[in-house]
Amino acid sequence: MKTLVCAEPGRFLMADTRIPEPGPGQVLLKVRQVGVCGTDLHAFEGTQPYFSYPRILGHELGCKVADANGFSEFREGEAVTVIPYFACGDCIACRKGRPNCCVSLAVYGVHVDGGMREYIAVPASSVVSGGGLGTEALALVEPLAIGAHGVHRVGIVAGEDVLVVGAGPIGLGLMRFAALAGARIIALDVNRRRLDACRVLGVHDLIDGSSEDAEARIRELTVGRMPDVVIDATGNLQAIRTAFRYLSHAGRYLLVGLQKGEVSFSHPEFHKREATLMSSRNATRDDFERVLAAIRNGSVHPNDFITHRVGLEEAANLFPDWLNPASGVVKAMVHL
């Protein structure tokens, strides 16, 4: 079977590998769609933490069941997606019902080889039925679930002002689910094309950080109060540090974006606000189900997020272009 391997930073190779046999507790899936996310791009670039090479990338998956391996809840040919966070089930986080931040978490396509190949064998417990959705929509469930998880974690409620810094696919998902929670959304980015993509989701308070005084504009939009919630979806150290200034008194700051450096901020400014700093990692099965329900009821439209569609071999040559903000890519979908 065709397999796309990131051999080292900046280099892919196309390998011909064997179709895996599903082991005990596993099902065999035919991969049909793989979404490309920032984790994949940063891995190709060589800037992703928790990473070693060679590695098969890909954790945003839309698949069909090829061999249910005796699991009666699945039928062959059924469209499914995969929760790509393999947890131990016994650590303190798992026992608290938070396997998304398991102490020994193995993320598909990051810590272990992922889905940019024709067939995969994965634990049946990680497979989620698509409930009639197509495989392209199902490949979007994981990144949207990260947004749904972040919104749930930070406790957004109706009427709050929420600033999302970073209008990439994760940022857009955060905006959509924050809006569904009843929040008023402000989007900040330095990429005009990505800000324009926010309009499709009904977000019209847009700030171009490359040409505007972001802090002054945020203050104007919130009538001096500043946002109740600030969410970073950039993973950019300077953006993370700067956004502490945008937070209201009694506000919450959620870090969804991830990067290698140390985060620093003014303790007096943070302290006087009695602010809350939180992180949000991955998603849970409940978040996956929340996203599936939102797609089925029409409150989330997959085509609002996908900008590029390519084949597996073509994708290997396009990763350098997708790292360039001028490419206009929001979400690239690889078809197998």
Judged on CB neighbours under 10 Å (0-12, 13-18, 19+), 223 is exposed
**Average pLDDT over every residue of 112-116:** 96
94: tokens are 């798992």
Share above pLDDT 70 across residues of the chain, in percent, rounded to a whole number = 100
**Which pLDDT does position 50 carry in this prediction?**
72
- How many percent of the chain have pLDDT more than 90? 92
User: Rounded CA gap, 163 and 185, in Å?
Assistant: 6
pLDDT at 328: 85
> Between residues 328 and 336, which one has the greater pLDDT?
336
What would the pLDDT profile of 209-229 be if each residue is shown by its tens digit?
A: 999 999 999 999 999 999 999
Q: What is the pLDDT of residues 281-318, one digit of tens each?
A: 999 999 999 999 999 999 999 989 999 999 999 999 99
Average pLDDT on 62-85 reads 97
41-50, 96-105, 142-151, 175-184: least confident range:
41-50
pLDDT band (50, 70, 90) for residue 324: confident
Largest CA distance in the chain: 61
- Strand 161-165 with 79-82, pairing: unpaired
Q: Which of 180, 188, 134 is nearest to 160 (CA)?
A: 180
Question: What is the assigned CATH class of domain 147-279?
Answer: alpha beta
Residue-wise pLDDT for 255-281, tens only, equals: 999 877 899 999 999 999 999 999 999
Instruction: Name the segment(s) of the chain with CATH classification 3.90.180.10.
Output: 2-140+306-335
CATH code 2.60.40.1930 for 2-140+306-335: no
Is beta strand 85-86 parallel, antiparallel or unpaired with respect to 60-67?
unpaired
Pick 260 or 92 by higher pLDDT: 92
Task: Supply the mean pLDDT for the chain.
Answer: 95
Instruction: Find tokens 């303190």 and name the residue.
Output: 92
Q: Residue 323, exposed/middle/buried by CB under 10 A (0-12, 13-18, 19+)?
A: middle
Task: In whole angstroms, give the CA distance from residue 63 to residue 138.
Answer: 8
CA distance 280 to 147: 9
Residue 163 corresponds to which tokens in the numbers above?
């600033």
Q: Residue 97 in contact with residue 112, Cβ under 8 Å?
A: no
CB atoms under 10 Å from CB of 135, counted, come to 22
Beta bridge mates, 334 = 34, 310
Q: Which is it for the CA torsion 299, 301, 302, 304, positive or negative?
A: negative
The pLDDT value given to residue 155 = 98
Task: Spell out the alpha helix ranges (H) of the chain.
Answer: 38-45, 92-95, 135-138, 141-154, 169-180, 192-200, 214-221, 237-242, 267-272, 285-296, 312-322
Indicate whether 48 pLDDT > 80.
no
Stretch 229-243: mean pLDDT: 96
Q: Are 29 and 66 in contact (CB under 8 A)?
A: yes
The reported pLDDT for the residue numbered 42 is 87
Q: Give the span between the Cα atoms of 190 and 225, in whole angstroms.
A: 23
pLDDT tens for 186-196 read: 999 999 989 99
For the cut 90, the answer to whether the pLDDT of residue 91 exceeds it is yes
Alpha-carbon gap, residue 13 to 103, rounded angstroms: 32
> Can you give the pLDDT at residue 82?
98
CA-based nearest residue to 127, from 217, 39, 202, 61: 61
Residue 142 pLDDT level (bands cut at 50, 70, 90) = very high
pLDDT of 106 strictly over 80 = yes
Asked if pLDDT for residue 321 goes beyond 80, the answer is yes
Cα–Cα–Cα angle for 192, 194, 197, rounded to 5 degrees: 115
pLDDT tens-digit readout, 51-63: 889 999 999 999 9
Taken in order 329, 317, 315, 290, is the CA torsion positive or negative? negative
Region(s) of the chain under CATH 3.40.50.720 = 147-279
Which band of pLDDT confidence, cut at 50, 70 and 90, is reported for residue 17?
A: very high
Q: What is the pLDDT of residue 102?
A: 98
SS3 per-residue string spanning 261-329:
CCCCCCHHHHHHCCCEEEECCCCCHHHHHHHHHHHHCCCCCHHHCCCEEEEHHHHHHHHHHHCCHHHCC
Question: Taking the complete model, does pTM exceed 0.85, yes or no?
Answer: yes
